[in-house]
Amino acid sequence: MKILLPTSTAGSLPKPSWLAQPETLWSPWKLQGEELIEGKQDALRLCLQDQQQAGIDIVSDGEQTRQHFVTTFIEHLSGVDFEKREIVKIRNRYDASVPTVVGAVSRQKPVFVEDAKFLRQQTKQPIKWALPGPMTMIDTLYDSHYKSREKLAWEFAKILNQEARELEAAGVDIIQFDEPAFNVFFDEVNDWGIAALERAIEGLNCETAVHICYGYGIKANTDWKKTLGSEWRQYEEIFPKLQTSNIDIISLECQNSRVPMDLIELIRGKKVMVGAIDVATNTIETPEEVASTLRKALQFVDADKLYPSTNCGMTPLSRRVARGKLNALSAGAEIVRRELSAK
Ligand SMILES: [Zn+2]
């Protein structure tokens, strides 16, 4: 990246109220058929414009074409029955009714490639595309076929690799895998989770990222955070192995979180997307608050490897709040950029 401290978002941005119910996860679409396809593209353009007006350097589709960051990808695969549902615990945290893996999973056709091409046509800026990670995918399903979390994750990794290669060919600069499950299942992450992720990025020439957060600002997550104590040291369990992995960028939750910033030292050498925007509050950060978080991170990340970002996706927020946070991110990064260039 030519610019110092290039800004981006972790993923989703709010959808317009004419497309989906605002401030809601898994919100049903308000349009159908051709109107829905056109509506999603219009929303993508608006969302891109919001990022550009705020001065965000690495832009995304804001996940305007998907209902949910994991489910929408899985819906496009065969081998998963969405009618057959079982109750499971998501990330050891909350019960949810989930679809069942009933046979071999496979991708019959590309999932997001047309959307990525559409985004590519709209801008010459670097673009980042998010996909769910293999471990987070298996954690949202009931598996009655493979009966092995590792085996299913491996199959998903192969599918993700097919999709990722096509996204790269469509002109995506950074492919990001969302792995909030990495913050929960430490033994599995070290045993096979990171290996599965490396399988998903095999053969890619574009940059790759893994996003590991403490989740959207929904109640189940904020309640869980209250049980984590005064210091959140989850990253410590997985950073040593991630440091030696082939992943280029690691995206983390840092704003208003109790993650000790010095844990980032454990991934020294990697590029780090530092979450400097809290997505669990409607309070808009001041540029100075953003700058302060970035300054702290600079103690443990070389300036040319620091990518200011958001803690997580902003889909549950209002568009007004999300725009305010994008502006704050951009202005906060600019403060630190000026300080660095004055040195
Ligand atoms: Zn997240």
Predicted confidence (pLDDT) per residue in 264-294, tens digit: 999 999 999 999 999 999 999 999 999 999 9
Per the model's pLDDT, the better-predicted residue between 222 and 329 turns out to be 329
Residue 314 C-alpha to ligand 1 middle, in angstroms?
A: 9
* Token pair recorded at residue 236: 């410590």
- How high is the pLDDT of residue 56? 98
- Cα 205 to ligand 1 centre (Å): 24
Q: Going from the N-terminus, what domains does the chain have, and what CATH number goes with each?
A: 33-342 (3.20.20.210)
Q: How confident is the model at residue 111 (pLDDT cuts 50, 70, 90)?
A: very high
By mean pLDDT, which of 78-87, 90-99, 176-185, 229-238 is the weakest? 90-99
Is 178 exposed, middle or buried (CB count within 10 Å of its CB: 0-12, 13-18, 19+)? buried
Alpha-carbon distance of 291 to 287, in angstroms, equals 6
Residues, the chain: 343
Ligand 1 centroid from CA 253, angstroms:
8
Ion ligand 1 nearby residues (CB, 5 A): 213, 312
Sheet holding 77-90, edge to edge: 77-90, 94-107, 142-143
Kindly report the CA angle at 40 between 55 and 63, in degrees rounded to 5?
55
Instruction: Tell whether the model's pLDDT for residue 1 goes beyond 80.
Output: no
Considering the entire predicted model, what is its pTM?
0.96
| pLDDT for the residue 313 | 94
